[in-house]
């Protein structure tokens, strides 16, 4: 009987060790969601006359998107959009950036509309630019980019997202590019 117990213990132990050594059999991981599509090239859009969008004693440049958002570029480098952001995480109604990566947030109201007033609509296929920030609309998506840190955001009916979220452009950048030269 003792010999039989030893043989059974050896067989069971070997089978257990074999199962532990086989990777991936226990549970399959759910697939990661696909990455967002590449953002539109805002700087390829036709520029508008900056002075026509000046508000707040020329400290901000504000515009309305086709879907009713209010977006601003501030002379101090800040930029963002407020209103009912389509497909934003956690039902955010504000996205802002500069300096640094943009983030989504929730506010008590339409922050920029309350300050900028009745902003002029930005025509489809055009952009507004101040220093390193450009914002534009292609008729569907509103996109703002900041060449200073290669970040920004895209707001579309299919979903809104941050461009290069958490990526340091000084460390991770496409081959052959230089963050100090545009």
Rounded average pLDDT over 33-53 = 86
pLDDT at 20 over 60: no
C-alpha 49/C-alpha 80 separation (Å) is: 19
- What pLDDT band is residue 171 in, cutting at 50, 70 and 90? low
Most trustworthy range by pLDDT among 13-17, 51-55, 160-164: 51-55
Most trustworthy range by pLDDT among 20-29, 64-73, 165-174: 64-73
From 154, 139, 45, select the one nearest 97 (Cα to Cα): 154
- Domain residue spans of the chain: 42-163
pLDDT at 73 over 60: yes
**Global pTM exceeds 0.85:** no
Q: 122-170: per-residue pLDDT in tens?
A: 999 999 999 999 999 998 899 999 988 889 999 998 889 999 855 555 5
DSSP string, 50-117: GGGGEETTTTEEEEE-TTS-EEEEETTS-EEEESS-TT-GGG--EEEESSS--EEE--SS-HHHHHH-
């Amino acid at each position: 009987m003792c010999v039989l117990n030893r043989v059974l213990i050896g067989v069971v132990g070997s089978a257990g060790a074999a199962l532990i050594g086989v990777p991936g059999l226990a549970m399959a991981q759910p697939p990661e969601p696909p990455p967002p599509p590449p953002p539109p090239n805002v700087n390829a859009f036709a520029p508008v006359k900056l002075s026509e969008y000046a508000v707040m004693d020329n400290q901000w440049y504000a515009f309305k998107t086709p879907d009713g958002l209010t977006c601003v570029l501030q002379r101090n480098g800040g930029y963002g959009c407020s209103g009912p952001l389509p497909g934003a995480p956690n039902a955010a109604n504000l996205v802002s950036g500069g300096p640094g990566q943009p983030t989504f947030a929730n506010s008590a109201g339409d922050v920029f509309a309350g300050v900028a007033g009745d902003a002029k609509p930005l025509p489809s296929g055009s952009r507004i630019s101040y220093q390193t920030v450009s914002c534009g609309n292609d008729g569907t998506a509103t996109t703002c980019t900041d060449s200073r840190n290669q970040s920004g955001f895209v707001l579309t009916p299919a979903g809104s997202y941050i461009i290069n979220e958490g990526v340091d452009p000084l460390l991770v950048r496409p081959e052959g590019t230089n963050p100090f030269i545009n």
